[in-house]
Structure 1
Amino acid sequence: MKRIFNLIVLAFIVSANCLAQNRSRWFGYGDERNIVKIELASLLTNTVSFQYERELASNSSITVSMGIMTKGKMPFASYLENKFAQAANLIVGKYSMMSGYRFYFSGEAFRGFYVSPFLKVAGSSIAIDYKFNVADEVKTIPLSGNIIGITGGILVGAQFSLGNRFNLDLEIFGPHYGFSTGQLIGPLALDVTEKGFLEKDLANLDLPIIKTRSIVTSNGASIKLSGPWLGVRSNVGIGYKF
Structure 2
Amino acid sequence: MMKKINFLLVLLCCQFGFSQNNLPTTTEEEVVSEKVTEINENKNLVKLNLLALTMGNFSFQYERSIGSKFTIGGSINLMPNRKLPFSKKIESLVDDKTTAAQLQGIRLSSFSITPEARFYLGKQVFKGFYVAPFFRYGSYSLKFPLNYTYENQDQSINLDGKVNTISGGLAIGAQWKIAKNVYLDWLIMGPHFGSAKGNLTGNKALNADEQAAIAESLNDLDIPVVDYEYEVNANGAKAKIKGPWAGVRASIGIGYRF
What TM-score comes out, normalization by structure 2 length?
0.80
Aligned twin of 2:234: 218
1:138 to 1:145, Cα distance in 2 relative to 1, 3 A:
same
Percent identity of paired positions between Structure 1 and Structure 2 = 35
If each structure's helix is expressed as a fraction of its own residues, which one has the higher value? 2
For residues 153 and 28 of structure 1, the distance between their equivalents in structure 2, rounded to whole angstroms, comes to: 32
Alignment: residue pair count: 216
Aligned twin of 2:187: 171
Question: 1:237 Cα shift?
Answer: 0.4
2:124 aligned with 1:108? yes
Q: Tell me the alpha carbon deviations over residues 35-66 of structure 1, each in whole angstroms, 9 at most, x when there is no partner.
A: 00001111233210100000010011012100
Question: 1:69 Cα shift?
Answer: 1.0
Determine which structure has more spread, i.e. the larger CA radius of gyration: 2
Aligned twin of 1:58: 68
For residues 50 and 213 of structure 2, the distance between their equivalents in structure 1, rounded to whole angstroms, comes to: 45
For residues 223 and 110 of structure 1, the distance between their equivalents in structure 2, rounded to whole angstroms, comes to: 46
Of residues 46, 51, 71, the one that matches 1:41 is 51
Q: Is the 8 A contact 2:147 2:217 kept in 1?
A: no
For residues 121 and 45 of structure 1, the distance between their equivalents in structure 2, rounded to whole angstroms, comes to: 20
Aligned twin of 1:70: 80
Give the secondary structure class of the aligned counterpart of 2:194.
strand
Give the secondary structure class of the aligned counterpart of 1:85.
helix
Question: 1:197 Cα shift?
Answer: 1.4
For residues 203 and 44 of structure 1, the distance between their equivalents in structure 2, rounded to whole angstroms, comes to: 37
Aligned twin of 2:157: 141
The amino acid across from 1:231 in the alignment is G
Give the secondary structure class of the aligned counterpart of 1:160.
strand
Unpaired segments ≥5 residues, structure 1:
1-26
For residues 123 and 220 of structure 1, the distance between their equivalents in structure 2, rounded to whole angstroms, comes to: 24
The amino acid across from 2:200 in the alignment is L
For residues 180 and 111 of structure 2, the distance between their equivalents in structure 1, rounded to whole angstroms, comes to: 32
Aligned twin of 2:41: 31
Question: 1:202 Cα shift?
Answer: 0.5
Question: 1:28 Cα shift?
Answer: 7.5
For residues 57 and 239 of structure 2, the distance between their equivalents in structure 1, rounded to whole angstroms, comes to: 27
Aligned twin of 1:162: 178
2:100 aligned with 1:96? no
Q: Is the 8 A contact 2:112 2:139 kept in 1?
A: yes
Give the secondary structure class of the aligned counterpart of 2:176.
strand
1:43 to 1:208, Cα distance in 2 relative to 1, 3 A:
farther
2:209 aligned with 1:193? yes
1:28 to 1:168, Cα distance in 2 relative to 1, 3 A:
closer
The amino acid across from 1:115 in the alignment is V
Q: Tell me the alpha carbon deviations over residues 66-104 of structure 1, each in whole angstroms, 9 at most, x when there is no partner.
A: 011111222332322342322221111100100011000
Q: Is the 8 A contact 1:69 1:95 kept in 2?
A: yes
Aligned twin of 1:128: 144
What TM-score comes out, normalization by structure 1 length?
0.85
Q: Is the 8 A contact 1:195 1:218 kept in 2?
A: yes
For residues 200 and 142 of structure 2, the distance between their equivalents in structure 1, rounded to whole angstroms, comes to: 8
Unpaired segments ≥5 residues, structure 2:
1-35, 95-99
Q: Is the 8 A contact 1:60 1:108 kept in 2?
A: no
For residues 44 and 214 of structure 1, the distance between their equivalents in structure 2, rounded to whole angstroms, comes to: 37
